[in-house]
Structure 1
């Protein structure tokens, strides 16, 4: 187990870096198209097989609370960007599916968002550092998932 002081310092550095980058990305995000939270939901659904995801699983991946996700999904349904269908494997569950219009809008915002990420993250670290950062963050996330399970 790591030294507590070092672990806390690493967490603080990670957290503060994430906040600083997110502030810049949020300021540049194409909010006239969609909010960053809407983008986060569409991003997670777009990565799922067949661009379909159980609402329960979506809640595990986004940064907002479950009631907020449900309201946000309902707004996206109203815009025609996602559809909600009953989960055939769980009568109480709901599947959220990205529509073709929703995917087009997501891709449009994603291209702009990726440019911002490249500018704010890709200019601060070289390719090797980015690969190491990715591996370290993946390990942290996997450790948290293992702990939760």
Structure 2
């Protein structure tokens, strides 16, 4: 019995793009699940929205999910493994988590200031450091 081994192609997107795609994937999963209005376990509201949006031009700030379940699971594992790592100091973890939050949730600088109660310059430097730390921590990831 040969099991097919799937390998993640990390070169497909940059680190930021992977996290943004993961955020879009999470939003899509939230829309698909939730209160299922029929016995077939199909969320009719989600499918009506998909059908209505078929000819509508996408907005600049709108992100379309282009990753598979396998790729999303690999990104989730990357985030969880980093969070549970015992070899990374607390300040580096904090910087990386700010970088992840910004990209996965699509937060603006203003929203991050309000939520994390940090100054704009501190946030920008921590997000920048978090990006480079994560890319250096995992050599499969690339940044621009």
Q: TM-score, normalised by structure 2?
A: 0.30
Q: Kindly indicate whether structure 1 or structure 2 has the higher relative contact order, using CA contacts under 8 Å at least 6 residues apart.
A: 2
Q: Which has the higher helix share?
A: 1
More strand per residue: 1 or 2? Answer: 1
